[in-house]
């Protein structure tokens, strides 16, 4: 009987944590969408498409989570296996939200200090990398997530910022994923690199067998967890 009680508490806590992570991802996407007035129509359409895909994925995950919750029984083995599955779900959610570092092959895109790069150009590059199935992206060690804001500093220097922090040059964008697919996505005829070349901006793309993208800082987003009925 004591063993039965031992797994019930971890399962309960794990369900709560997974629910919080999914809630955070919903809320961060909503917060991100509220501050898009400066983006171009093409960028907005790409962001909307990506967010719709993420929304559908999250709804599917919530359905699976609900099914797991309904199948919890008093069987000790079932409880232990469920705890392991939920822990894996939590790891996947943390990765999707960007809370933990990601390692793997990918590419780096280096933009030198003399390039007249604008924040919209960085957004275009990031969107192309997502479209090429990048698993994780960072700009100068700043993890790009659902709540990342790329914009001007608002000062006379008009420096490019990520989440309000100025980007220094040379600027290095790191993307985890299939190196060939990521590079091909950027080099599409008439794509982002061709657009940048018009303004004498020539990013250097390097394929890497092993890269690491850092985890992101949690955004300052408030949410409430309903109290359990007594």
pLDDT per residue as tens digits for the range 162-182:
888 899 999 999 999 999 999
**Which residues are CB-contacts of 162 (< 8 A; sequence separation ≥ 6)?**
139, 140, 142, 144, 148, 149, 150
Going by the DSSP 8-state scheme, the letter that residue 68 receives in this structure is H
The per-residue pLDDT for range 94-103, each reduced to its tens digit, is: 777 788 899 9
- CATH assignment of 102-213, given 3.30.70.1880, 3.30.9.10, 3.40.50.1440, 1.10.260.40? 3.30.70.1880
Q: Examine the pLDDT at 147 and tell me if it is beyond 90.
A: no
What is the spatial distance between Cα 166 and Cα 153, in angstroms, rounded to a whole number?
7
Phi (first) and psi of residue 151, to 5 degrees? -160, -170
Looking up tokens 């609900």, which residue turns up? 66
Give the model's pLDDT for residue 71: 63
Residue bearing the bigger pLDDT, 183 or 71: 183
pTM of the prediction? 0.65
């Amino acid at each position: 009987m004591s063993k039965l009680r031992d797994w019930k508490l971890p399962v309960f806590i794990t369900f709560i944590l997974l629910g919080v992570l999914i809630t955070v991802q919903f809320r961060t996407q909503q917060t991100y969408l509220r501050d898009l007035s400066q983006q171009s129509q093409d960028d907005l359409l790409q962001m909307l498409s990506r967010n719709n895909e993420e929304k559908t994925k999250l709804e599917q995950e919530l359905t699976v989570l609900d099914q797991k919750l309904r199948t919890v029984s008093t069987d000790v083995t079932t409880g232990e296996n469920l705890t392991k599955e939920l822990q894996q779900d939590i790891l996947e959610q943390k990765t999707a939200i960007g809370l933990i570092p990601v390692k793997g092959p990918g590419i780096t895109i280096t933009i030198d200090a003399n390039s007249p790069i604008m924040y919209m150009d960085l957004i275009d590059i990031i969107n192309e990398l997502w479209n090429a199935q990048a698993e994780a992206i960072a700009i100068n060690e700043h993890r790009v997530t659902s709540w990342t804001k790329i914009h001007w500093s608002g000062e006379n220097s008009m420096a490019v910022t990520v989440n309000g922090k100025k980007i220094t040059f040379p600027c290095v964008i790191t993307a985890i994923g299939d190196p060939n697919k990521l590079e091909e996505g950027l080099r599409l005829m008439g794509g982002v690199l061709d657009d940048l070349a018009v303004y004498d901006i020539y990013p250097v793309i390097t394929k890497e067998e092993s890269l690491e993208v850092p985890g992101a800082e949690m955004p300052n987003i408030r949410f409430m967890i309903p109290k359990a009925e007594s």
